[in-house]
């Protein structure tokens, strides 16, 4: 029980509704129960390798009925940021699918290890595992040294797939920060601005919402940064976590997402 009337949930995806490409038992049914009860839903993910359209198709394949307009990714925040900045010139370290979406903002192609940096305002770092080489990373670094700011789609440390652990975007962002002495502007979770963007979408105040997720550093900490409640699910990254040892503690815990309706509808 959360002790407050909750009107909306901001729900994480990977590790919360599904894990390692498979839906978590009971999650789809719980989601439908919440919809029927009139709970507003917005889905927040730090996935920065796919478009919202692709993410929705993946969810549909796993049995989740989710509207494209209700999915918020770091790319959603990036689009808002670029509009507010007045269409700045950017150098992108992104997965090809997202890079194509932001081609109109791409600046000059310079900045390779052996050539002069191009004139850009920001180096935007997302999932770059498909293109990350010394040359591409050093090229981005040269843009930053030449005056460009760093924008991070997210700063996750790692993610988990069927075959184990992988470095996440945060590792590459930290590389540029360390080498340049600059601090990146964070767009995805746990940025308070990202959560406020989602709260505006569901039309409720922070005290009327709860964040549900499996990551203490992005979901629980993000909820606290805007004054929302947090529910940690013991799946995904939180599998086997000793909650008593956590520095940032959630307001409630559910074994899986299937237990969330009981916490908010009681």
Q: What burial letters (b/e) apply to 121-159, b meaning 16+ CB within 10 Å? A: bbbbbbbbeeebeeebbebbbbbbeeebbbbbbbbbeeb
Residue 196 and residue 179 share a domain: no
Residue 211 and residue 256 share a domain: yes
Answer whether residue 115 shows pLDDT above 60. Answer: no
Domain membership flag for residue 56:
no
When divided into structural domains, the chain yields a total of: 2
Q: What is the per-residue pLDDT for 243?
A: 73
Residue 196 and residue 178 share a domain: no
Domain membership flag for residue 64:
no
Which of 160 and 136 is assigned the larger pLDDT?
136
Answer whether residue 262 shows pLDDT above 80. Answer: yes
| Residue 87 CB-half CA count within 13 A | 3
Indicate the pTM of the whole model: 0.86
Among 243, 261, 218, 193, CA closest to 9:
261
Domain membership flag for residue 31:
yes
The domain in which residue 201 lies consists of 8-46+189-265
CA-CA distance, 90 to 54, in Å (whole number)? 24
Pairing of strands 71-72, 40-44: parallel
User: Residue 118: which pLDDT band, with cuts at 50, 70 and 90?
Assistant: low
- Per-residue pLDDT of 61-86, as tens digits, reads 999 999 999 999 999 999 999 999 98
Q: What is the per-residue pLDDT for 73?
A: 95
The three-state secondary structure class of 88 is: coil
Q: What is the CATH number of the domain that holds 144?
A: 3.40.50.1000
Q: Which residues contact 45 (CB under 8 A, 6 or more apart)?
A: 12, 13, 14, 55, 71, 72, 73
Domain membership flag for residue 71:
no
User: DSSP letter string over 194-251?
Assistant: HHHHHHHHHT--GGGEEEEES-IIIIIHHHHHHT-EEEEESSGGGTT--GGG-SS--S
Domain membership flag for residue 240:
yes
Domain membership flag for residue 72:
no
Residue 260 and residue 194 share a domain: yes
Q: What is the per-residue pLDDT for 117?
A: 55
Q: What is the per-residue pLDDT for 266?
A: 75
User: Residue 110: which pLDDT band, with cuts at 50, 70 and 90?
Assistant: very low
- Per-residue pLDDT of 178-232, as tens digits, reads 999 999 999 999 999 999 999 999 999 999 999 999 999 899 999 999 999 999 9
- Per-residue pLDDT of 131-154, as tens digits, reads 999 999 999 999 999 999 999 999
Rounded-to-10 torsion of CA 156, 161, 166, 167: -20
- Per-residue pLDDT of 165-174, as tens digits, reads 999 999 999 9
Is the four-CA dihedral 58, 60, 62, 65 of positive or negative sign? positive
């Amino acid at each position: 029980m959360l002790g407050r009337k909750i009107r909306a949930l901001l729900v994480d995806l990977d590790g919360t509704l599904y894990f390692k490409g498979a839906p978590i038992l009971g999650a789809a049914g719980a989601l439908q129960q919440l919809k029927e009860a009139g709970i507003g839903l917005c889905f927040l993910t730090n996935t920065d390798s796919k478009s919202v359209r692709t993410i929705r198709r993946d969810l549909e394949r796993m049995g989740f009925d989710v509207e494209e307009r209700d999915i918020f990714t770091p790319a959603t925040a990036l689009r808002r940021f670029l509009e507010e900045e007045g269409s700045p010139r950017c150098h992108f370290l992104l997965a090809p699918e997202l890079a194509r979406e932001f081609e109109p903002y791409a600046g000059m192609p310079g900045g390779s290890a052996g050539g002069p940096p191009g004139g850009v305002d920001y180096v935007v770092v997302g999932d770059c595992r498909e293109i990350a080489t010394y040359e591409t990373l050093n090229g981005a670094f040269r843009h930053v040294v030449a005056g460009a700011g760093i924008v991070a789609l997210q700063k996750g440390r790692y993610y988990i797939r069927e075959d184990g652990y992988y470095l996440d975007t945060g590792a590459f962002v930290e590389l540029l920060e360390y080498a340049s002495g600059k601090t990146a502007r964070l767009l995805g979770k746990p940025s308070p601005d990202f959560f406020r963007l989602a709260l505006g979408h569901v039309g409720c105040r922070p005290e009327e919402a709860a964040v549900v997720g499996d990551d203490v550093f992005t979901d629980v900490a993000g909820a606290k940064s805007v004054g929302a409640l947090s529910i940690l699910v013991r799946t995904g990254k939180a599998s086997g976590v000793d909650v008593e040892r956590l520095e940032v503690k959630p307001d409630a815990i559910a074994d899986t997402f299937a237990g969330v309706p009981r916490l908010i509808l009681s």
